[in-house]
Amino acid sequence: MWRQKVGISLNGKYDCPIEEVIGLIKETGFEAVSPDCKSAEGLSELPRIISAAGECGLSVQSLHAPTAKTADLWSCDAQLGAEALNDYLAIADNCAQYGIPIMVVHAWRGMEYRFDPKTLYYENFDKLVSFAGRHGVRIAFENTEGEEYLLALMAHFKDCRTVGYCWDSGHEMCYNHSRDLLAELGDRLIMTHLNDNLGISRFDGRIAGTDDLHLLPYDGIADWDAVVARLKKAAPVDILNLEVKNVSRRGRHDNDAYGRMPLARYFAEAYRRACKIAYGYAR
């Protein structure tokens, strides 16, 4: 008999209080949740999430940092960098305060960019990683657009035990042109964002945020047998986490069917897909 814990990120659109959402997640069978903080101000809901998860016996696996100021962390402009860093330090501090072991951080934000390794500025990341590490929090850098920045950070922190990798299976297909970053960084895997999509939609191959659908696994074009095989070659994770959404991107309708489902049914379907992945992973 297999036993592999599965979790789910809290980043959907829910029509009931977060306490009820977490209760449904627990009833469905998930063992962990991972809140997504859209902004530093969004931390106000975190105590309710922590309390509700604790009451029903769910682990809080990670906290996702805001992404709006991600690119500013790379800036050598003192004011821009300091403002971004303060927001990220607030997230790390809340991870420490509530015992959340992993903070997920995007390495870059922006579809249009020019990567120049000669001009990279790591000081703000150094301060964030140092602060988090002193407080028992690991930073998981995630693959998004701009994977060059991710690889630069992972190389910069190659000897840092408190820095790891968050693999987003959907981002790989729609942002990274299916580059196998899991093979490159799998030995440092500490967090998963498992989801599906339909790949890059533009004929010229340019990436667009609207392709990042976060469909339930098996509803897109990912080969999940191959995904599981690749995951088994990477560092083991205690909890396989889904990051899926029940609302469509603006101008698209790919997730509309999820939004029409009762929330309990949606979570049950997500759990069924998670179990299918977990079964293959644990064999």
Q: pLDDT per residue over 202-257, tens digit each?
A: 999 999 999 999 999 999 999 999 999 999 999 999 999 999 999 999 999 999 99
Compute the average pLDDT of residues 137-165: 98
Beta carbons of 124 and 85 less than 8 angstroms apart: yes
Contact partners, residue 228, CB within 8 Å, separation at least 6: 277, 280, 281
Beta carbons of 212 and 249 less than 8 angstroms apart: yes
For the cut 80, the answer to whether the pLDDT of residue 24 exceeds it is yes
Residue with tokens 């063992």: 31
For the cut 80, the answer to whether the pLDDT of residue 42 exceeds it is no
According to the model, what pLDDT value does residue 265 have?
98
Pairing assessment for the beta strands 62-64 and 102-106 based on DSSP bridges: parallel
For residue 2, what pLDDT band results from cuts at 50, 70 and 90? low
Beta carbons of 66 and 91 less than 8 angstroms apart: yes
As a whole number, the mean pLDDT across the chain is: 96
Other C-beta atoms lying within 10 Å of the C-beta of residue 26? 18
Q: Where are the domains of the chain?
A: 5-282
Question: Residue 204, class by beta-carbon neighbours within 10 Å (0-12 exposed, 13-18 middle, 19+ buried)?
Answer: exposed
For the cut 90, the answer to whether the pLDDT of residue 38 exceeds it is no
According to the model, what pLDDT value does residue 1 have?
40
According to the model, what pLDDT value does residue 40 have?
73
What residue spans of the chain are helical by DSSP H? Answer: 18-28, 46-56, 78-98, 123-134, 147-156, 169-174, 181-185, 224-233, 256-260, 263-282
Q: Which CATH number fits domain 5-282: 3.40.50.720, 3.40.50.1000, 1.25.40.10, 3.20.20.150?
A: 3.20.20.150
Compute the average pLDDT of residues 153-175: 98
Question: Higher pLDDT residue, 13 or 195?
Answer: 195
Q: For 174-205, write each residue's pLDDT tens digit.
A: 999 999 999 999 999 999 999 999 999 999 99
Q: Three-state DSSP class for 273? A: helix
According to the model, what pLDDT value does residue 13 have?
86
Phi, psi of 175 (to 5 degrees): -115, -35
Compute the distance between CA of residue 150 and CA of residue 148 in angstroms, rounded to an integer. Answer: 5
For the cut 90, the answer to whether the pLDDT of residue 41 exceeds it is no
According to the model, what pLDDT value does residue 3 have?
82
Q: Taking the model in full, what pTM does it have? A: 0.97
